[in-house]
Structure 1
Amino acid sequence: MSEHAPEIEDPDIDAPEVASILKSVSVRLAKDSPTRSFCTLHDTLDSRDELQDIRRHIHQHPELAFNEVHTAELVASKLENWGYTVTRGVGGTGVVASLRVGAGQRSVGIRADMDALPIHERSGLPYASVHDGKMHACGHDGHTAVLLGAARQLARTRQFDGTVHLIFQPAEEIGAGGGAERMLADGLFERFPCDAIFGLHNHPGAEAGTFMFRSGPFMAACDTVAITIRGKGGHAARPHQSIDPILVAGSLVMALQSIVARNVDPNETAVVTIGTLHAGHAPNVIPDSARMELSVRSFSADVRASMETRIKQLATSHAEGYGATADIEYVRGYPVLVNSEAETEFARQVAEELVGPERAIANFHRIAGSEDFAYFLQQRPGCFVRMGNGVNQPLLHNAGYDFNDDNLTVGAAYWTRLVERYLAG
């Protein structure tokens, strides 16, 4: 296939976002004199209908963490039909597909996540979830379809020299003990060696077909804390005979906000959010206990450790100051996601070649959300990429969210070109 851009009048180009990108890139590519052919945006356009059908089928039949049985089988059967060596059941319901071309010794891994969320869909789409309380509200249906599109293109062109491992991961959404950890414990990189690994997540609020990059810490560590304040229950009319846990909890809510404001370096980024607070059942009864749950985000190991220490100290001493006690459950979740510098610059260059420099954004801002792809990056160099899902699209984890199908062939072309460039012989 030619590196040069197609004529924009091509009748196959029916997606407005793809057509816009092709138009912006065509002049630049026409001036190039490439010595090697790599995948272009036009090369994957003929797979749009198939990928859209796959994506919408997965969207309509969402499966929660470690229950992605139907999704995994759909993925595995497609890959086997395209000539991949497929391994099922990696880390539970994970699928790994391998394809070796030529005699090259290098290998690369590309990962997509497959699980849905326990959210009742309210999108009103004709392909909305048929399973009450389950929904693809984070775009994992799109991530899976995008990687399948790349798999199809790589298998039919075989324009690389080495081995590619396509990793379809379960259970990204559940926090500690999720799919990445389970796949690694199942010997992922020992069984399927990767010199580098890459992953992608859609990003509502950014223009579709735009890619965003940042080396170093990119997405936050996420820890969950449960604090139970134990006081002494009693009659609402005689509070002096009780130790009111609600009073202690209310005061602690405010005190916890001082940690970021007064204990974290202003040059660092951290978040402490109290997401739940439950106590009592009647207005005339002081309860025995109150319970709150926190989400704690950070971008460095030092800040993460100091915040854990400070939260425990503050909760304990604060409760004691009122004559109560505090039971603290501190669960460390996903670590900081750290992109390696060389692989991030490589991934950015591939995007720039594919969609133009104006759509390949370097040094994108850090994201306080978390991602278990971080575990893979602790063991192999690589890059986690963000891809715009549309400026006016609903946010992630929203009951009205939907993956932007204009991204399907763009994402497939990106992964294809990245593999071809990485394994260029």
Structure 2
Amino acid sequence: MPIVNRVADLQPDIQAWRRDLHAHPEVLYEVHRTAAFVAERLREFGCDEVATGLGKTGVVGVIKGRKPAGGDVKVIGLRADMDALPIEEQTGLPYASKTPGQMHACGHDGHTAMLLGAARYLAETRNFAGQAVVVFQPAEEGGAGAAAMIKDGLMERFAIDQIYGMHNGPGMPIGSFAIRTGPIMAATDSIDINIEGIGGHAARPHKSLDSVLVGAELITALQQIVSRNVDPLDAAVISMCEFHAGNARNVIPQTAVLRGTVRTLTAEVRELVEKRVRAVVAGVAQMTGAKIDLTYERGYPVTNNHAVQTQFATRVAKEIAGDTNVHEMPPLMGAEDFAYMLEKRPGAFIFCGNGDSAGLHHPAYNFSDEAIVFGTSYWIKLVENTLPA
């Protein structure tokens, strides 16, 4: 594994970048320090072009190979996300977040650092034809930064033919990868429900229209959609996670608010679930007499890996990790806005082992520096195999 060995020499620098980013987390589109850090490194590496401000704060670097590309694929895109989460860190690390209420609890610091490491290597060696485009994206955590960069012309401006993404995987052994063809992560939609009944004294419920009871009816009915309307062989999740009503034990509240999330893996099931949610809300409103306002918003689409590119990514991962350390995984019901990029160009999304760490979005999570060599090597090999010199 010559690339792995050579990347090991870069590991101390990549680790230092990662820990600096970890100590200075930024959320959503407000990744100004992070973007400036990335752009400065890319210029130091000698990238042929460094563009900033795509999707508000995204950064793109272009690295040209030794020869013009001669095949169907002339430009390959590699994407890393830069944003952190609004979570108070509880790791106790010497490089823990210095920003109260924000932390890199999903490993985007590691993703950014690994892609920077790959960019440095590729800019030094240029052992490929065509162009490698490294894409550093803001606002993956709920802000749809991928869609914003696409809207700003990412694919067309840099003539990207294929696009690849990677995420760390807690619980997966260091040095392993997991991937699958087709849906690998779910679409995510949001449900917001406002209920208005008639408030009153708790001892006189017959003179009121109880918004709490209406909310309970809704939750019970909504949770039955998956079990009684969705084919058992398909996957879907409806989770109602917020219920706000009342502030006194002897007052029936006038209003109640429910909020929840929907996760699906196919367009057909997504349509079905939305249709049933709307019907259930309308039915409960008619049954109870309460006024119920529903806001159903589509979020990230399904992250759908393309077959040819997934097979290729699997072969590359096996070159880095060995055949027995690359696994076909079941789909996850979490969401990922790299889905927008896969709607525009063929490509694949892969998971790289993070070892026995706390889970993603947990205040004790930390990206494992031991994963750096494997993730960085995967990026490099992906370029060199896609665009052979």
Q: Deviations over 1:78-127 (max 9, x none)?
A: 11111111001111100000011212151100000000000010111111
Q: Which runs of 5+ in 1 are unaligned?
A: 6-38
Opposite residue 262 of structure 1, the aligned amino acid is: R
Structure 1 position 40, deviation (Å): 2.2
| The one of 379, 384, 393 aligned to 2:344 | 379
Q: Deviations over 1:1-56 (max 9, x none)?
A: xxxx5xxxxxxxxxxxxxxxxxxxxxxxxxxxxxxxxx521010111111111000
Query: Contact between 1:98 and 1:164, CA under 8 Å: does it hold in 2?
Result: yes
Query: Contact between 1:149 and 1:409, CA under 8 Å: does it hold in 2?
Result: no
What residue is the counterpart of 2:76 in the other structure?
108
Distance in 2, matches of 1:74 and 1:40, equals 25
Q: Deviations over 1:103-158 (max 9, x none)?
A: 21511000000000000101111111010000000000000001011011111111
Q: Deviations over 1:283-339 (max 9, x none)?
A: 111111111101100000010011011011101211321121210011100000100
Q: Does 1:40 align with 2:3?
A: yes
The CA RMSD over aligned residues, in Å, is: 0.9
Distance in 2, matches of 1:295 and 1:338, equals 20
What residue is the counterpart of 1:239 in the other structure?
205
Distance in 2, matches of 1:202 and 1:354, equals 16
What residue is the counterpart of 1:151 in the other structure?
119
What residue is the counterpart of 1:260 in the other structure?
226
Structure 1 position 279, deviation (Å): 0.3
What residue is the counterpart of 1:315 in the other structure?
281
What secondary structure, in the 3-state scheme, does the structure 1 residue paired with 2:369 have?
Answer: coil
Q: Which runs of 5+ in 2 are unaligned?
A: none
| The one of 52, 56, 68 aligned to 2:31 | 68
Opposite residue 387 of structure 1, the aligned amino acid is: C
Distance in 2, matches of 1:370 and 1:164, equals 26
1:241-390 residue pairs with structure 2 within 5 A? 241-362=207-328, 364-390=329-355
Distance in 2, matches of 1:53 and 1:249, equals 50
What residue is the counterpart of 1:83 in the other structure?
46
What residue is the counterpart of 1:53 in the other structure?
16
Distance in 2, matches of 1:140 and 1:287, equals 42
Distance in 2, matches of 1:289 and 1:140, equals 39
Sequence identity of aligned pairs in percent? 47
What residue is the counterpart of 1:424 in the other structure?
388
Opposite residue 413 of structure 1, the aligned amino acid is: S
Distance in 1, matches of 2:290 and 2:44, equals 64
Q: Deviations over 1:154-200 (max 9, x none)?
A: 1111110110100000000024xx21111011011110111110000
Distance in 2, matches of 1:211 and 1:194, equals 25
Opposite residue 181 of structure 1, the aligned amino acid is: A
Distance in 2, matches of 1:159 and 1:171, equals 32
Query: Contact between 1:112 and 1:167, CA under 8 Å: does it hold in 2?
Result: yes
Q: Does 1:129 align with 2:91?
A: no
Opposite residue 127 of structure 1, the aligned amino acid is: Y
Please report the TM-score for the alignment, with normalisation by the length of structure 2.
0.97
Q: Does 1:161 align with 2:124?
A: no
Distance in 1, matches of 2:292 and 2:353, equals 43
| The one of 190, 203, 209 aligned to 2:156 | 190
What secondary structure, in the 3-state scheme, does the structure 2 residue paired with 1:406 have?
Answer: helix
What residue is the counterpart of 2:377 in the other structure?
413
Opposite residue 50 of structure 1, the aligned amino acid is: D
Distance in 2, matches of 1:146 and 1:319, equals 52
